[in-house]
Structure 1
Amino acid sequence: MSKKLPLDTLTELARTQKEEAARRLGALQSAQVSAHQKLDLLLQYRQDYSHQLQRLMESGLPASQWRNYRNFLSTLDGAIEQQRAIAAQANVRLDHGRGDWQHHARRLNSFDTLADRLRRQEAMLQAKREQRDSDERAARKFIDRAAHSSA
């Protein structure tokens, strides 16, 4: 079992930060999808009302009802522009969230790579120590046998 390196604490912190960034990214993706769905809904709603107005105009429409439709469509256009701004902002936030997640993923990968390198170095040093100890025991046995056989 390998001993815990001081770097392991940093690695765990980086892993936690990456997981938190992934959760934030998921929330940002949901918000972005929701913003675009609302925009699509408003656009569809506007198109439907515009077609409805067109049909009513073809069959004759009182001026007051025409003004009401035009005012409603104008209000709807304002809502569409607001939703476009919200969707654009959601896109920007999602891009920043992706960058944040990528930063934390790279940082974690760096710590993991460094920890692996340190563990390999420690394993090589341990293997060398064990080989040296084994060589020393073999040399002592040889010397003991040689001393006993000459006596």
Structure 2
Amino acid sequence: MAISSPLEMLRERAEEKLNDTTQQLGEVRQRYEQARAQLEQLRHYQQDYQQQLVARAAESGIPVTHLLNYQGFIHSLRKVTQHYNHHVVACEQAVEQVLGDWKKDHRRLNAFNTLKSRADDAAKLKESRQEQKMMDEFASQLFSRRSSV
């Protein structure tokens, strides 16, 4: 195994970090989407329950005890929905945080890739100049030999 340059080692570590952050971003986005879907289910359930109450009350009336039970349950659902809404907001903030980290890691990897590309280009240019110098020396020696004969 060849010994990597320090720049290549840093680039590889930046790439590993970006991969880890990408995985983390996927996980927090998935949690956010699940939480959002569950919140929508809670809201839909709350709305259905309210519509059932209105429909039953309009059809045949409803005893006061049942009305109080419905209202209590709807109130409880509203509280749970509000609490879960805070959870969804926290999940959204986590996504934004990890997305910011991902962007930072991506910029860092791009910077290392740019530095590596520049270093590779400089090495190729140096090698090309050395080859040209050797060719010039060879041509000069060949010319000198032909001139002296």
Change over 3 Å in CA distance of 1:141–1:4 after alignment to 2: farther
Give the TM-score normalised by structure 1: 0.92
Structure 2, unaligned runs of 5 or more: none
**Deviation string, structure 1 residues 69-126 (Cα, Å, up to 9, x no partner):** 1111111111101110001001111111111110000000000001001110110010
Once residues 49 and 114 of structure 1 are traced to their aligned partners in structure 2, the CA distance between those partners, rounded to angstroms, is 62
Once residues 15 and 80 of structure 2 are traced to their aligned partners in structure 1, the CA distance between those partners, rounded to angstroms, is 41
**Deviation string, structure 1 residues 43-84 (Cα, Å, up to 9, x no partner):** 000000000011121221111111111111111111101110
Question: Following TM superposition, where does structure 1 have runs of at least 4 consecutive aligned residues deviating by more than 3 angstroms?
Answer: none
Q: Does 1:72 find its partner at 2:73?
A: yes
Once residues 52 and 105 of structure 1 are traced to their aligned partners in structure 2, the CA distance between those partners, rounded to angstroms, is 52
**Per-residue deviation, 1:145:** 2.6
Q: Which residue of 2 aligns with 1:86?
A: 87
Identity across aligned pairs (percent)? 28
Once residues 5 and 129 of structure 2 are traced to their aligned partners in structure 1, the CA distance between those partners, rounded to angstroms, is 20
Once residues 61 and 126 of structure 2 are traced to their aligned partners in structure 1, the CA distance between those partners, rounded to angstroms, is 93
Higher mean alpha-carbon deviation, 137-146 vs 27-36, is at 137-146
Give the paired residue count: 146
Give the TM-score normalised by structure 2: 0.93
Structure 1, unaligned runs of 5 or more: none
